[in-house]
Amino acid sequence: MPDPLPLFLVAPPGLEPVLAAEACEKGFADPQPVPGGVETSGDWPEIWRANLALRGAARVLVRFAEFRAMHLAQLDKRARKLDWGAVLRPDRPVRVEATCRKSRIYHAGAAAQRVSRAITETLGCPVSDTAEIVVKLRIDDDLCTISLDSTGEALHKRGHKPAVGKAPMRENLAALFLRQCGFTGSETVVDPMCGSGTFVIEAAEVASGLFPGRSRRFAFEQLAGFQPEEWEAMKAGARQRVPQARFFGHDRDAGAIRSSTQNAARAGVGAHCAFACQPISALEPPPGASGLVIVNPPYGARIGNRKALFSVYGALGQVLRERFAGWRVGLVTSDGGLAKATGLPWQAPGPTVAHGGLKVTLWQARLGG
């Protein structure tokens, strides 16, 4: 196996450079944005750390082997030569997922079956469709890349959010949008339509110096060479601090506010957050220095209808323009027409980002005053 191992941090398409910047700031080796993610490298403790510490990544893949195969028998032979015992444990079930593109091997199911068989027959681990450990085989132009998913359940599942609202933002996406807005943890954040509280809780966690993966399990805990004591020591090494700023979430829906409050408490940041049930019309800036308003209002295709939404966006824009002089605004929506209906002085919009079957964009403004 190569040392250090090549790693691929899966990113929401469109936000690869933002994740690369986070990985660079957190000390990962030479992170390079490429379509769909960020390439870096590291040993196993770096793989654990990537899962534990990166807020923007969706998962962390370990590139395990790369070879050419023109037909299934060749794939079978080469897969049997790999040192599976260096990464997998004979007592833990695995599952192989395959994709084929522009290759002589075109049947992904047959390719996955060859690799599954190579693993069971050389190492003895059982193959199961429900296995937590996933080996990914990608065949592209006859080049086979075998990766191991070190993450398991996607990283946006931080492990302390049972209560979600109607259209929650994924935590890793929320973290990348906060970063794009220049948030570093030191300023007040207000989300006037906070739903389940994702932006507010992510912001409070950043400000508190908490690791996003502190409460959950990962697939790498089931792999060969995992060292539980070293892992526990890594988790205990968070540089926690008491935030200097506070984090505010509002929503007109009482259920959303109950969920946000519970979610923040479970995440351990309840003391730094304040949630209140109120409509946009009642929004006032909290006392103290100006900061960041970040909001993901409803957009037509998901909830509500577009005509009614024009007045919601219009009201939001008016309140922000009249009461939030000196603040920055980040607004995430799938509908540029609605963003413009706020009348806010938008900069050029960011890239479109796939989210829940829609393409959303971050719009940013700085309010004069």
Ligand X SMILES: C[S@@+](CC[C@H](N)C(=O)[O-])C[C@H]1O[C@@H](n2cnc3c(N)ncnc32)[C@H](O)[C@@H]1O
From 127, 143, 163, 167, residue interacting with ligand X (rule: CB under 6 A): 167
361 part of the interface to ligand X, by CB under 6 A: no
Rounded to the nearest 5°, which phi and psi values hold at 36?
A: 90, -5
Residue 157 interacting with ligand X (CB under 6 A): no
Residue 166 Cβ vs ligand X, minimum distance, rounded to whole Å: 6
Interatomic CA distance for residues 337 and 297, integer angstroms:
13
For 192, the 3-state DSSP assignment is: coil
| 173 φ, ψ (degrees, to nearest 5) | -70, -45
- C-alpha to C-alpha distance for 291 and 327, rounded to whole angstroms: 5
CA–CA dist 181, 33 (Å, integer): 19
Residue from 193, 210, 264, 338 touching ligand X (CB under 6 A): that is 193
In the window 205-264, what residues touch ligand X (CB under 6 A)? 251-253, 256
Residue 296 in the binding site for ligand X (CB under 6 A): yes
Q: How far is the CB of 165 from ligand X (least distance, A)?
A: 4
- From 70-78, 162-170, 222-230, 233-241, give the range in contact with ligand X by CB under 6 A: 162-170
- Size of site (CB under 6 A) for ligand X: 21
Given candidates 297, 300, 317, 350, which one binds ligand X under the rule CB under 6 A? 297
CB of 15 to ligand X, least distance (A): 16
Cβ contact 10:61 at 8 Å:
yes
Q: Which contacts (CB < 8 Å, 24+ apart) does range 300-308 have?
A: 300/334, 300/335, 300/338, 301/334, 301/358, 302/166, 302/167, 302/334, 302/356, 302/358, 303/166, 303/167, 306/335, 306/338
Nearest CB to ligand X, comparing residues 38 and 316: 316
Give the pair of three-digit tokens for residue 158.
């931080």
- Interaction of residue 195 with ligand X, rule CB under 6 A: yes
What string marks each residue from 317 to 356 as x (binds ligand X by CB under 6 A) or -? ----------------------------------------
Q: Residue from 312, 341, 362, 365 that binds ligand X (CB under 6 A)?
A: 312
DSSP state of 36: T
169 lies in the binding site for ligand X (CB under 6 A): yes
Among 33, 56, 298, 317, the residue binding ligand X under the rule CB under 6 A is 298
Q: Closest approach of Cβ 160 to ligand X, in Å? A: 14
In the chain, DSSP finds a helix count (H) and a strand count (E) of 10, 14
**Beta-strand runs (E) in the chain:** 5-10, 32-34, 37-42, 59-68, 94-101, 133-140, 143-149, 189-191, 247-251, 273-277, 292-295, 328-333, 352-355, 358-366
Give the total residue count for the chain: 369
For the window 71-110, what string marks contact with ligand X as x by the rule CB under 6 A? ----------------------------------------
Closer CB to ligand X, 17 or 279, in the complex = 279
Spatial separation of the C-alpha atoms in residues 155 and 9, rounded to whole Å? 11
Least distance CB 183 / ligand X (angstroms): 15
Residues that bind ligand X (CB under 6 A): 165-169, 193-196, 198-199, 251-253, 256, 279-280, 296-298, 312
